[in-house]
Amino acid sequence: MGLLEKLQTQVLTADGAMGTLLYSYGIDYCYEELNITKPEVIENIHQQYIKAGADIIQTNTYTANAIKLERYGLESSVKEFNESAIAIAKRAAAPGGQFVLGTIGGIRGIRKSEATLEAIIAALDEQAGYLLAGNPDGLLLETYYDFEELSSVVKHLRKLTDLPIISQVSMHEPGILQNGLLLNDALHQLEALGADIVGVNCRLGPHHTIQAFEDVELPSKAFLSAYPNASLLDVEDGKIVYESEADYFGRAGVLLRDQGVRLIGGCCGTTPKHIEAVKKRIADLPPIENKIVKKKKVIEIKEATPDHHEPLHEKAKRERTIIVELDTPRHLDTTSFIEGAQILNSTGVDAVTMADNSLASPRISNMAMGSILKTQNNIRSLAHITCRDRNLIGLQSHLMGLDALGINEILAVTGDPTKVGDFPGATSVYDVSSLELLQLIKQLNEGISFSGKPLRKKANFSIAAAFNPNVRVLDRAVKRLEKKIECGADYFITQPVYTKEKIIEIYEATKHLETPIFIGIMPLTGIRNSEFLHHEVPGIKLSDEVLERMRATGDDKNLATAEGIAIAKELIDTAAELFNGIYIITPFTRYDMSVELIHYIQELDQQKVGDHNYVKTTN
């Protein structure tokens, strides 16, 4: 009798964690390598689970694909790891006739950039080919956080085999996936794609796994599965531990059965004792044939709080829009900063932008200063956010705080690595790239947390992305812009540009885009400043002509300032003809220089009133 036939009339028990036991043995390297180097260890673990009562065991192949093995330098070992793993499992199961599932683990976490779907399918083809050649009783897809990935994998595998496919999602929050899809809907979609058994594994313990299944209807053809963790994880003396008694896990197995689950196993933290406890509790229980799902109250997501300002990207599509960067202080005296922001605001600029610890050097939080500017001075701010300083928890918390403060203009950037800043020993986080951050902020605009749960209200962010045009091949940079637009960028802010030719090149390369671009203009203050920017600051390059002009000013600070202003005005002449958005970057809090440039832009526009072509209507 096959696996699916048995599930028609029985609730079956699967095995528990492989990694947990190997970790407890002090093994902290690639577990799949043990299929070759220590096959007796893997076989012994299979036998322990079989002795505990498991009807089903899975191969030790969770990361045995080329993408995941690459981190160990073992990507060429896919064939031997998978072939050995299925041979070991079948040898262990042969005496008792347990079913053997070939395990294929998820690749993506919250970052879609970890692997393209094309690369995932290529790795899947290779791994699945070796597993299927070993004649398993089915394939187990586990720990998939990205539903797009899992859907693609199920669809592809269904073309390759008629064997049972068990597809399991992983959730950050009970009952909801990280993209906001309800578990019930996800499982039914997987069934429609051809999965024979659908369920969940990992991340959540028994309590939250049971809670998640309370809203899940019984599939029409497929069966439900659950492989919860032993508990939520903890760390003691640097080691990961799970606080869960086996009997508690066994009782949870009964409650999972009551929710219609027919295949019950364990994930992180579970051991043969946990599986033995489940087996004893459910051995004589028939499966649930009918289930009444009491629908929970849908959480209402309110519309975003309206902003009395027009979003910058909307205005920039129509008319001249000027934003000015003013760095927050690297000290605790905010007097000069606030004074500068007030003066800039009085010129009529559309927003004062503040970097997020630029060049990895700590400054007063732009959230704090943005709040002060708004509440005490009625000044609109644009806050930069880097991926460098905060993990996903910190990023979402920070963004929720900005929303609560009514700071709705955001620039999402990756951020300079900490090695370039004041604390080179500090950790660079980079949980996500700027591309994923754009997507996550857009998700907040839908009222959905990074983890997928509803936030009760939509955020209202207008999101800028960075654009560095100072590259040898501009077309490649424009391709990246197009990716950022796909991820949710509403407009772009460029690095400072120092030649008219480059501004024209940017225009020609981007004129097909409707997304507004703000051209960065930063006046130079002297030759030392110019050479530092040219030689040491990533993403900034000056022309030989500009360097010579600044060099000619020598040590005369007034002459250097005047020449820096003159160069900036020449650049503005070209930028203002081609782009609606101008981004003035204030050097060293010299807001007097920015004020002069703002007035110059305004004078240019006044001179051209009546000429309907004086600004571009897209960029």
- Binding-site residues for Zn(2+) sit at 202, 267-268
Q: How far is CA 587 from CA 326, 380, 383, 422, 526, in A?
A: 8, 20, 18, 19, 11
Annotated binding site: 202, 267-268
CB proximity list for 505: less than 8 A, separation 6 or greater: 469, 474
- Identify residue 566 by its one-letter amino acid code: A
Q: How far is CA 88 from CA 51, 92, 140, 305, in A?
A: 16, 6, 17, 59
Distance CA 562, CA 570 (A): 12
The percent of the chain in helix, strand and coil, each rounded to the nearest 5, is 45, 15, 40
Q: The tokens of 226 are what?
A: 């659950």
Give the CA count within 13 Å in the CB-facing half-sphere of 134: 28
Strand (E) or helix (H) holding 538: none
351: β partners: 323
Burial of 63 (0-12, 13-18, 19+ CB in 10 A): buried
Strand spans (E) along 326-368: 351-354
CB proximity list for 445: less than 8 A, separation 6 or greater: 304, 458, 459, 460, 461
Distance CA 489, CA 465 (A): 6
Strand (E) or helix (H) holding 430: none
Q: The tokens of 496 are what?
A: 């400072």
Cβ pair 200, 212 in contact under 8 A = yes
φ, ψ dihedrals at 185, nearest 5°:
-65, -40
Cβ pair 441, 488 in contact under 8 A = yes
